[in-house]
Structures are given as structure tokens and as C-alpha cells.
A and B are shown apart, each in its own frame.
Chain A
Amino acid sequence: MLRQVYYDAFIRAKEYDKDWVAWRKLSASQKKEGKMPRKDLDLDCLLEILKDEREITCHSYRQSEINMLMQVADSMGFTLNTFTHILEGYKVAEKIKAHGAGASTFSDWWAYKYEVNDAIPHNGALLNDMGIVTAFNSDDAEMARRLNQEAAKAVKYGGASEEDAWKFITLNPAKLLHIEDKTGSLKKGKDADLVLWSGHPMSVYSVVEQTYVDGRLYYSLSLDRENRLRNAKERNRLTQKMLSEKKAGKKTQKIKKERSFIFHCDDESYSF
């Protein structure tokens, strides 16, 4: 149903462009007499899309809306970079392939909104089989740290090969983000962004032993163990110090509670 909204926007952007092109063609004296078109930041942005200067990532669930936006894009002459979530993507996979967009989907989420009733955990594998560049996204602060287990779900449900499933969280998202020349796979010349796993990287039984970012050791399981002990000791020392000062009759202050909050895409109303 949103089709007209998109068309309205892009048609306005095209006409806006026309006005500016015409304006720029005018001579200095003509400009003096004429009226400069109004600068519009929204339309500038849409124009960048039409001129392939700006990539589009589109939140999407149902096949109808996916289908519609691709039609809008095709008729307006631009290509969508990535459909995110794209839960019913498997229903229009051949169309997505023809259009040339990539897909970043959930591994197995469904049944949280009415429009995701037909979301299936086989989606990623089906899209991948169609030849679409496919990734898994997490959309969740906890799950983000277990993306390796999420990748395994493409094998379990959709029958993807282990190598393909692993690309869902490495090379393929790098491609969608246009950084595959720097990262996303272990290849001579790419950035040294590496992870050392204790076992099969997609197994729930494996843990990360080391990570490297740009060749620097960023995390180490054994170092982390030492640091935890050190921090616990230091914490205890500070607590004891405060307690003894209190005992000695020194001035105390109330505990200041720190608020922490995990932001979500619909948390725009949060106030600090």
C-alpha cells in the first residue's frame, strides 16, 4: 500500500533535479531575474539514491512490500543494496536475484508480529541457494555474541553447507557493507581481523580463545581470566578501604546508581 508514498517521493526528487539542472543552465543575468529553486535536504538525499551515490538498506518482512519496492526501484532506475530481516524473501527469491539486492535475515525469529507469521528458519539457506548474497543479522545485544550459533541454524534448518553458512556471518555481510576488500575472509592482503576458536566455530561447545583486530591481540581468554582476578582483587581492596575509612568516622556519601539501558530501534522516546 506504501507504493504511492515511494513514487511520490522519488518523482518529486526527479522534478527537483530537473529544476536545479535548468537553473544551473541559466546565465548569470538570467539567474538575477529568475528564482533559485528551494534547497531541500530530503530530496537531495533521494536524488543521491537515484544517482547511485547512496546505498539503500531496507527493513522488510512480507513478500508484497519487498516486491513493490523492487518495482519502484527498477522503474526509477536504482538498485537496493540490502534487504534487512527480509523474512518472506524466500517467497520472491528469484525476483530479488533478478533485481540484484542482497539479504540480511534473522536465523529463526518469527511469531512476534502478525506480518512475520510466515517467517521460516530456512529463509537464509533458500535465499543463498538462489544465488543471493545472504547474511544473518542478530538485532539483539545478547545474540550478537553468539552469531556463530546462529550461522549453524542455516545448516540445521535449510541444509546450507557449513562453508556457505559460515559466510553468512563473515564474507557475505562484508560484501553487503562493501568492505570485502579489507575483511570478511582470511586472504593475503586483507586486514588481520581474526578469531581463534577452541573447536568447530559453529558448535555451541566452542568458545573464542583469541581475537585480533588489525593484527593486534584484542581479546585473549587466558589474559581475560587473569584480568578478572586482578579486577576482583582491586574491587575488594577499594571496598575494604572505604569500609575502614567509614569505621574511622570519615565522611560517607550515598551510593549513586548508574542507569544502564539497552537501546532498541524503537527507543527514540528515551530521555537521558
Chain B
Amino acid sequence: MKNLTLINICLSFFALAVAQTPAPDQNKRILLYGGIAHLGNGEVIENSLIILEGGKILTIEDASNIRIDISDAEYHDVIGKHVYPGFILPNTTLGLADIDAVRATKDFDEVGEFNPHIRSIIAYNTDSPVIPTVRTNGVLIGQITPRGGMVSGTSSLVEFDAWNYEDALYKEDDAIHVNWPEKRISFVEHDHKKNHDDEYEKDLSEIKSFFNRAKSYVKSSGKKTDLALEAMKGVFTGSKQLFFHVRTVKGIKSAVLFAKKLNLDNFVLVGADDAWRVADFLAENEVPVVLNRIHRLPMRKNEDVDVAYKTPKILQDAGVLFCLDYEGDMERMGARNLPFTAGTSVAYGLSKEEALMSITLNAAKILKVDNSLGSLEEGKDATLIVSEGDALDVMSNNISLAFIRGKKLELNNHQIDLFNKYKKRHKEFSEEE
């Protein structure tokens, strides 16, 4: 037995050095007792009892007046700690690239303008060393999204704990992503999108004609197979969502009116920096928004310096369904800051629970997985985190437990390993002195 333990320790150490080992399926009832449960739907249970079974949330209720049987269960005392649904990261290239400056590690931008049939999930690297550094801050689900061209390709939803891309899949081919043509205004930031200034009219007519072709392709039968147009089918039958990446008022309105004209109602705006200017229009048309990283500068010189920080509050007040993403410079390694962007929106008007919704339930609603994810509710997936303190604030975000469908995750990463290694070395130095 002793030998076995030793072997186990060696094996797990080896595994840590390579990459985090995906957790085995939940085989035992798990009890979380006494935590401050932030449900993700705006409600809070100050003293909660949460029971996880078979990868689902079996029970979540006020623990004050309950006697529980903890035999045969893995028991966790989380008194005074904070429990949240796992944070959801939409519109990300996490796993599609490791190092920004090393081209060979990047696989999110295919050649060509119209690539709806390109499926990002194929390139998703479950062993990317960046992923474990993101989930240690509480981000457990991502929408792996291709970039580039006018129709970038098809995204998929994944869980951040898996052996391979099939194992990672949560919702396969959930949406097609379109970079809607728009004229640049005085953008001050670098932009991965094509500069459409010169070819704006041409691009607009090309993309419209592409959609028209797709629509008639879907209607007709007996035509030769066209993979690109075939991939568009789901958009018209409703099985896939359409994500319009767009920034300006003009672009937003033009994309929304175009989608309406095609009788589509399964579409979402991504980026939408100008959403605050047209909040009422978005609310009236019930258009959901994946808001571009709010830690950014204003797009125009005459805008308020804090315009991005306060956009969530403006959308909330107008009744727009929105969630937050982290697209832009350093978006993969920076994605671990997603909860802190939500926290920043609290300083600019949102309540803490509303801010939480923008990275949990609202994200799940927009990605159409809210029947199983996004909030701590009985029957939903046991995909949740426990933080020693408030997880939306930097100093107190300290994730001590994380589960994906009841599977308990290793909360380690390459960086923590290096920290421990050198902390020990430094300690030896100070002891010598």
C-alpha cells in the first residue's frame, strides 16, 4: 500500500509538470456546507447547502434549518466562503493559440473571406498551458471562436477540463461568426479586423449576396454540395446562432436590420462598443450583446473616458440582455481577468449580483445553454467554484474549489509550480543568512 501511494505521488507529480490531468467523473455525492451562494440569477443565499450528485446540482437551499446526513459524501466546509456558477467566457481564441508572437502556435484565422464551414473546435488544444491559468480564476466554460475574414467560421462551447477536443465539447458548432463590414471611425486601437474603409460598399454587397446564396441553397434540393453554404443551413433552420462582430452605431443598425430582413431571430451582436448609444434600439429589437472587454479606451476622442466601464449599467437600465467578453490584445492569457472586468462595472453602477450575471447566467442565456449552465439551480450542471473571498475583486479572488459537472478540478498550473519552486529556493537563501 505504501509503495502504491508513492507511485501515485510520483505519477501525479509527473502529470502536474506536463499539464493538468482532467478530473475523473463524479462518483460520490459532494456536499458544500455554509457557503455564501451567489446564484448567478441575482439572488444570494447567505448560508447555503449545496449537494452535487451525478454531475448535477441535486439540492441548493438555505442551510439554516436543515439537518444533513454527511455519511457517504465528500463533505466540504465552506462556511463564509463564496460559491458561484463557473464563469463563462464567450468569444475567445483560448486554446487556438499559445504564444502571440509565435505564428506556428496560432490557428484561429483561416485563409479566405467566407469560411462558415471552418470549425474552430478542430484546432482547440486542450493541453494549452494558458487554459489552467484561466480556470484558476474561476472561468470554466468558453466559446472557442475563429477570427478573420468576413465569415470567420463556426464556434463551439467547451469545458476547460478535457483530454481532447471531443471530450471538451459542451455544445458543438453553436454559432457562425460574421465580421460585419463597417467604415472605420477614428479607432485608436489596433484592430484584427480588415480595414473596410476602401472596400466598404463592395464588402457589404458581397456579404449580402453570400447570405442570399446560402438562403436559396438551403431552400433548393438536388444541387451539388457546397460545404460553405451547407454550413449556413443551421442559421436558417435555427440550430446555429449568428454572431455579428460589429462596433459602431451604423454597423450595429445595419447588421440588425439585415438579420431582420432575413427573418432571423437567432442572432447576437459581439463587440458592440457603441451599444450604449443605441441601447433602446437594442432593447426594442431584443438583440443580445456580447460586450467587448470593458477594460478599454474610448473609441472616439469626445467620448467620456469611462464610457466602456459604464456601458454595462446603461445596457442593464435599458433592458438589453448582455454579457462580457475579453477579446483584444493579449486576450488569451488576459482572460483570467474576466471576473475583474465584471467587478469594474460595479464601480460604474451595476450591483454586484448584476455584474455576476454578466459572466454567468446572461452569458449562458446568450449562448443558449441556460437550461444547464449559468446559475446555481437544482437540476443544472454542477459547474461551480468556491472562492475564499469575493471572486469579482482582485485581492479576494482565491478559488479553492472548482467543479465541472461534479468533477473536481486540479487547481494548479505551470505558473503556480514555478512560484512554489522558487519560493522554496528563496526561503533556503534566507535561512542560510
Contact = CB atoms under 8 A, between A and B. Distances in A.
A142 B297 contact: yes
Interface string B181-194: 00000101100000
B426 A235 contact: no
B143 interface: no
B99 A204 contact: no
B423 A112 contact: no
A62 interface: no
B330 interface: yes
A146 B343 CA distance: 13
Interface stretch (A8-16, A42-50, A151-159, A178-186): A151-159
9 contacts: A112-B101, A120-B415, A126-B426, A130-B426, A130-B429, A203-B393, A204-B344, A207-B348, A258-B301
Given A113-B101, A142-B295, A204-B340, A153 B394 contact: yes
Interface string A130-151: 1000000000111101100100
Interface in A218-272: 228, 235, 257-262
A28 interface: no
Give chain B's interface residue range (CB within 8 Å of chain A). Answer: 35 or more
Contacts of B101: 112-114
Interface string B405-419: 000000000010011
A167 interface: no
B302 interface: yes
B186 A228 contact: no
B313 interface: no
B100 interface: yes
Please name the 6 residue pairs, one residue from A and one from B, whose CB atoms are nearest each other, closest first: A204-B343, A152-B394, A122-B419, A120-B415, A112-B100, A111-B333
Contacts of B333: 108-112
B389 to A, nearest CB: 10
Contact of B340 (A149, A157, A262): A149
Contacts of A214: none
B189 A262 contact: yes
A157 B433 CA distance: 26
A145 B306 CA distance: 10
A162 to B, nearest CB: 7
Interface residues of A, number: 48
B302 A162 contact: no
A156 B397 contact: yes
Interface string B334-369: 101100100110111000000000000000000000
Given A112-B99, A228-B304, A118 B418 contact: yes
B11 interface: no
Q: Which of A110, A117, A140, A257 has the most CB of B within 10 A?
A: A110
B286 to A, nearest CB: 29
A131 to B, nearest CB: 9
B295 A143 contact: yes
B130 A111 contact: yes
A124 to B, nearest CB: 11
Contacts of A120: 415, 418-419
Contacts of B100: 111-113
A108 B295 CA distance: 15
A117 B189 CA distance: 25
Interface in B281-307: 295-297, 301-302, 304-305
Contacts of A109: 330, 333-334
B138 to A, nearest CB: 12
Contact of A152 (B98, B99, B296, B395): B395
B188 A91 contact: no
Contacts of A93: 422, 426
